[in-house]
Structure 1
Amino acid sequence: MSSVQRQSSSGSDGSATVDEKKRKRMLSNRESARRSRMKKQKQIDDLTTEITRLEMSNNQVRQTVDARERSYNEIESANNVLRAQAMELTDRLQSLNSVLHIFEEVSGFSVDIPEMHDPLLKPWQRPYPSQPIPASSSMFFI
């Protein structure tokens, strides 16, 4: 074999080796790209699942807040009614005490008129013997 033939055969072997390396690199790149796409798809799926979970949680919180707000509004309305009734009863009691004072002055009889406390000024002080107020935990939670 001549030296030219040896070079060309080794050159073609070198070319085949380069082609084989190129082919392996392409396959490796394709596999890497496939793994990358799968990883990205998994991330998207995980984020989509997280979005769904957070939306459901947000809806539950929103429903709880709405229910508590409705409950608060109902209680506030009932408190307003009770305040109005307390003011009306206080006015009635003042009127009755005035009548008793007039009766005392006109008749000369001594009438024991209890001191009247304003429940709206100091609601924590009870002018009358306290009575237990029945309550249950279900009043506070929905």
Structure 2
Amino acid sequence: MATSSGNSSVCTKFKSFGSEEDLQILMDQRKRKRKQSNRESAKRSRMRKQKHLDDLIEQVEKLRKENSEILTRVSIITQHYDRVEAENCILRVQMGELSQRLQSLNDILELINTTNGIYEMDNCYVTGATDYNFMNPMNMMYLNQPIMASADMFQW
């Protein structure tokens, strides 16, 4: 009975609109309205997707440009680093050579200062063992001080 009353209310509703043709026209209008609304919604959705795609393309271009700038800076910094490293290598070699020279000079001074005899000759002092005859032009005994040098004294 509930089923028949439900159907009867639908039938009454349909009857209130008029004939079946009127009902069909009404349903067609609703269908067209729904289709139009769906088309507009789909169009808005496509527009949103297109805008999102355009934004992503713009972001990709911006990131590519930024990446290129970073790569350029890295290349410049790498070249600078290589130049500094080469210069450091040259300076290390020069420092080694100068250290060896300084050590040789200090060895000579130590040898001169540790010799046993001091011989007098024409009011000049000569220091050294019998194998070494080294004249002191200042008429003084050599002081026991190492020779100090800085790298900027030896500019090539």
Length-normalised TM-score, structure 2: 0.65
1:9-35 Cα deviation digits (max 9, x unpaired) = 111111110010111111111111111
Give the counterpart letter for 1:28 in structure 2. R
**Equivalent residue letter for 1:102:** G
Find the counterpart in structure 1 of residue 89 from structure 2: 73
Residue 15 (1) aligns with residue 31 (2): yes
Q: Which residue in 1 is equivalent to 2:18?
A: 2
The C-alpha deviation readout for 1:68-124, integer Å capped at 9, x for no partner, is 11111111111111111111111222233345x4124xx5989532322245xxx6x
| Partner secondary structure for residue 113 of structure 1 | coil
Q: 2:45 pairs with 29, 42, 52, which one?
A: 29
The answer to whether 1:96 aligns with 2:112 is yes
* Runs of 5+ consecutive residues of structure 1 not aligned to the other structure: 127-131, 136-142
Give the % identical residues: 11
Flag the structure with higher strand content. Answer: 2
What CA distance in whole angstroms lies between the structure 1 residues aligned with 2:20 and 2:35? 22
1:114 match: secondary structure: coil
For 1:75, the aligned partner's letter is L
Give me the whole-angstrom Cα distance separating, in 2, the residues matched to 1:68 and 1:116: 39
Superposition RMSD on alpha carbons, in Å? Answer: 2.9
Query: Are positions 1:87 and 2:115 aligned together?
Result: no
Query: Based on CA coordinates, which of the two structures has the bigger radius of gyration?
Result: 2
Going from structure 1 to structure 2, the CA distance change for 1:77 and 1:97 (only over 3 Å counts) comes to same
The residue number in structure 2 matching 1:140 is none
Aligned length: 122
Q: 1:12, 1:47 → 2: CA distance?
A: 52
Q: 1:71 to 1:117 in 2, by over 3 A?
A: same
Q: Which residue among 130, 145, 151 is the counterpart of 1:117?
A: 145
Counterparts of 1:123-138 in structure 2, within 5 Å, are none
Match of 1:39 in 2: 55
Offset, 1:55: 0.9
TM-score, normalised to structure 1's length?
Answer: 0.71
